Each structure stands twice: as structure tokens, then as C-alpha cells.
Amino acid sequence: MKKIDELKKNSKTRLFKAVFPNTTNHYGTLFGGTALQLMDEVSFICATRFSRKKVVTVSTDKIDFTKAIPEGTIVELIANVVLVGRTSCVVKVDIFMEEMYSNKRDKVVSGSFTFVAVNDQKKPIAILD
């Protein structure tokens, strides 16, 4: 159990992005699909760092968008492994929005992504040795 806790701690992954006009919709807010892409990317990196195996996304669960993310803000995505199975792991991702010129920060999106470790034939394998 201690090994898994250490792996979880060491695989925590953070990603920062500035929200520029090319990633926003006609309301001037981040496209939901762009947020999902960033969440999948950071959760993939987290799952890979956790297992050091080839992993694939197999599902997402309950993505909650609680506040729009306007152009001109900074987002921080934080990914953590929260559950480990035999061949899979679940990664929780939170997006925090920061105003560029103040210390205001809010959690605005959260969701979970499930990954399965696979071999070269794309068959499930043990996520940890």
C-alpha cells in the first residue's frame, strides 16, 4: 500500500495555460471541448507517470463545469490518481481559473478519467508490476 501511495503522490501532474482568443467561443469563453482535451491530456500524463506503462483513456465520468472560463485568464489543471484497479486507474482532474492581474482563483471544472494499461497488441495488462 505504501508503494501505491508514493506512486500516487509522485504522479500528481499540473498544467498551466493562458486562455487566448483562438481557444474561445463567440461568448469569449473557453470552448468546453478544449477544456476536455486539456483534461484528457493532463490525466493521461498523470496515469503514465503513475504506471510507467502505455495507457489509453477508456471513460470519463461526470465532468462538472461550474463557471465559464473567460479569455484573458490563466487555468491550472491538477491531476491526481484516486483509484487503482488491476489493469486500470482513475484520475481526478480539477481546473482552477485565475485572473491574470489579481490573486482571485476559483475551481471551475472537475471530472474523472479512467485509463487502462495496454501491451503492444492493445490488450489490457496489469497497471503496476
Task: Please give the Cα distance from 4 to 127 (Å, whole number).
Answer: 11
In this predicted structure, what is the pLDDT of residue 2?
Answer: 77
The pTM assigned to this predicted structure is 0.95
In this predicted structure, what is the pLDDT of residue 21?
Answer: 96
Query: Mean of the per-residue pLDDT values for the chain?
Result: 97
Residue 60 has a CB neighbour count (10 Å cut-off) of 15
Where along the chain do its domains lie?
Answer: 2-117
If you average pLDDT over residues 67-78, what whole number do you get? 98
pLDDT at residue 1 tops 90: no
If you average pLDDT over residues 4-26, what whole number do you get? 97
* Lookup: cell for 48: 503514465
CA dist 122 → 10, 42, 59, 116 (Å): 26, 21, 16, 10
Fold held by 2-117: Thiol Ester Dehydrase; Chain A (3.10.129)
Instruction: Give the percent of the chain with pLDDT over 90.
Output: 98
